[in-house]
Structures are given as structure tokens and as C-alpha cells.
Structure 1
């Protein structure tokens, strides 16, 4: 079974306009591009790669200490920097480790690798948040405006990829769908669930939302919906961990229903 609390996720700003992501045990938050605060704390350190080649810049680029897959590493090790022809000592993403030229987008890197995370549904949110801000600072237009047109175009592509990956990984439903995709399992979000009890519950929730007189009534409806989202997110994590992909797929389908009504409620608040 496989195919995302008081507020849902917010749209992303062009730079670092994103607040805390959440794990399967956290509440579903609403996107707010004007709020860039975060109460996340770091739980792991990033490793600085000190390269001693004579033509390298003295300033080091920070990469995650997590190891990438051997398959992706092999692909990258066969690719030299377009500017200095240096062969990377480690799997690159945004910049050449040696001359610090912005590199073209590498589609073989998945979203977890971009942020130096193991491919697990349950992720360390603080690492993701910190790495996102680090990438966005390095790719900010003000920092690459003096580079060549080629590099500015690469930087724009990289920045879009960073944001797309962040948006996907910080939302439990989209993260579940994405990690299943990496396992070769496509999730049809439009597929219906043949569960009369669930469908009746969703219909009743929508009717209650329509009849709600004020925000207090809406929040009373929202709370159990958010609890259901967390419940099915946790169920997905357990199923995926045990490679019960049919069960995990079913969890994503149910999360989709609650995610939709959650959004409907948030629009009215």
C-alpha cells in the first residue's frame, strides 16, 4: 500500500525564504515567504574539504560529510570541470572544488544527495535547513553577478534545483512520493481509495468546513486532520523502513486525502 498541524507548507522565496521543515512527528506548517526564522538546531557537522592543488582558491567550499552513492560518484569522477579540467576528488554539485567555477546541473544527483542526507524517509531537519541556507547564500545573484554569463546561467539552474529539492524533502507527503519514485514506484496522486469509511470521513470534514462560522470552528476541524496526517506519515515511515512498499503506497494515498482537506481549511483561515 503506497501511491502530504496547524498550517501547511508555504511557497518558497527566491533566496532563503523558508521556515522550519518538519519530521513525521511535527506539525504541518503553512508557507510564509516573509518569515525566515527557524527554531531548528544542528545535530551534525558539515565537513570542509581542504584541497591542496596550487591553482585552487584559498576559500574552501563546504560540503556535507555524508557519502554519496558509488554509482553517482563514479559518474562525477568521470566528469572534469569545464573551466580548469580538474577531476573532482569528491562528488561535486554546485562548484568545482578547485577553481570554484559554477558547474552545470547534474541530474544524476538525487535530492537527498544534494543535501548530503542518507536516503531515508525520516530525515534530520536541522541538517537540511542549514544546508539549504548555505547553498542559497552561495548561489545568490549578488554573489555570482561578476561571473561569466555561462556561470550565471548554471547558478540559476542550480538554485532552482536546490529550492525544488528543499520543497520536496520538507513536506512529508511529497518526500514520501519522491522516495518511492527513487525505488522505481510511481505514485498516482489522482488515484482514488476504495475505502467507504475514509471517503465518508473526508466528505464530512469538507461539509463541516463549509459550515464553519469562524476561525475557531475551523481550527477545531483542523486539529484532527493534522493528527491524521502525522499518523499516516509515521505509518509510511515504518512501512518504507521495512520495505513494505504496497503498504507504504497506501499510506501516501491516504495522506493525499488529508493533505487536500488540510489545504482547504488553511485557505479559509
Structure 2
């Protein structure tokens, strides 16, 4: 196995058929399940456990669009999540500040409706971002794709904070 894509016998590309991914995951997970190696020697059991862990991690990465994008970029030598990347478009930063203020207000007031509205707004922004990410990969604009991944990480974190603030 060279990459997670190779492991799942999928093309190394951003857009994947999630049904095929799940099908390949189930096939691999079943073939390597540690229970199948219960009567085997300790080495075979350890190999099955390690392979199962690898399959689960590969599925976790490939099943999530942002993680899949970051993985593809990593394969191309670009670390989208490297801490030195701190430049963001001013519009994005201003929008982040506005959303954070709205989250703080709604959270302090325990305003479930406002939190749900904010979650929906950020969900729409996440969908737009995934479309932009798809376009960047289609055009092989990997630097732009890395920028979208970084922005997507912010949106994902904000969405988690909203979910944590919900009663």
C-alpha cells in the first residue's frame, strides 16, 4: 500500500463516490477483522490489529472532505495545516469575527434559535467552501485548495463550538 487511496483501490482525487468508499471499507474491515485471526499466532494477530487500525484511519481521512483534501495536498508536498500559514483574506477574517460575536451573544443568552440559525448559516458557508475546494482540485490549483482547507478548518471548529453551546 502506498496511499490510503491505493488501500481502498480508489483514484487519488478529491471527488469520491462515498458509496464505493463505504463498500471498500466494509470489505477491507471484514477481511482484516481481528476476530478472524483469533486462532492464529501472535504475529498474525498483531498484523491484523495493525491493518485494522490503518484501514480505520484511512477511512476516517478519506470519508471527511477536509481531511481528504489535506491528505491529497500532503501527498503533493503541501502541509495545509502547517502553523506558519496565517494569512487569510480580510473578508474571511471579518466574517469570522462577526460569527464569533454572534456565537458569544447567542451562547450567553442561551438562545437556541439564534444558535441554530448561525449553525445553518455556517453550514451553507461550508457547502460553498466544499464547492470551491472541488473547483480548486479540478483546476489543480493546490495552493488555493490549501487556503480553502485552512478556512474550512475554521468553519468546522466554529460549527463544533455552536454544537457545544446548544442546550
User: TM-score, with normalisation over the residues of structure 1?
Assistant: 0.57
Q: Corresponding residue for 2:144?
A: 247
Cα offset for 1:214? 3.6
Is 2:70–2:81's contact at 8 Å kept on the other side of the alignment?
A: no
In the superposition, relative to structure 1, how do residues 221 and 189 fare at CA in structure 2: closer, same or farther (>3 Å)?
farther
Q: What are structure 2's unaligned runs of at least 5 residues?
A: none
Give the 4+ runs in structure 1 shifted more than 4 A. Answer: none
The number of equivalent residue pairs is: 162
Decide which of 199, 212, 224 is 2:93's aligned counterpart: 199
Structure 1 residues 130, 214: CA separation in 2 closer, same or farther (over 3 Å shift)? farther
Q: How does the TM-score come out when normalised to structure 2?
A: 0.88
Larger displacement relative to structure 2 (111-120 or 185-194): 185-194
- Tell me the alpha carbon deviations over residues 101-135 of structure 1, each in whole angstroms, 9 at most, x when there is no partner: xxxxxxx5201111111111000100111111222
Q: Are the counterparts in 2 of residues 189 and 253 from structure 1 also a CA contact under 8 Å?
A: no
The 1:159–1:137 alpha-carbon spacing in structure 2 relative to 1, beyond 3 Å, is same
Structure 1 residues without counterparts, runs of 5 or longer = 1-107
Q: How much has 1:193 moved relative to structure 2? A: 3.0
Task: Give the number of the structure with larger relative contact order, counting CA–CA contacts within 8 Å between residues 6 or more apart.
Answer: 1
2:51 counterpart of 1:154 = no
1:231 aligns with 2:124: no
Q: Could you tell me how far 1:184 is from its partner in structure 2?
A: 1.7
Q: Determine the structure 2 residue equivalent to 1:167.
A: 60
Q: Does residue 1:260 correspond to 2:154, yes or no?
A: no
**Is the partner of 2:121 in helix, strand or coil?**
helix
Q: Cα RMSD between the aligned structures?
A: 1.6
User: Bigger radius of gyration, 1 or 2?
Assistant: 1
Change (3 A) 1:133 1:268: farther
- When residues 233 and 131 of structure 1 are mapped into structure 2, their CA distance, relative to the original with a 3 A threshold, is same
Separation (CA, whole Å) in 2 of partners of 1:263 and 1:202: 14
> Cα deviations across residues 151-197 of structure 1 (Å, max 9, x unaligned)?
11101110110111111111111111100111122223543233222
The answer on whether the counterparts of 2:8 and 2:25 sit within 8 Å (CA) in structure 1 is yes
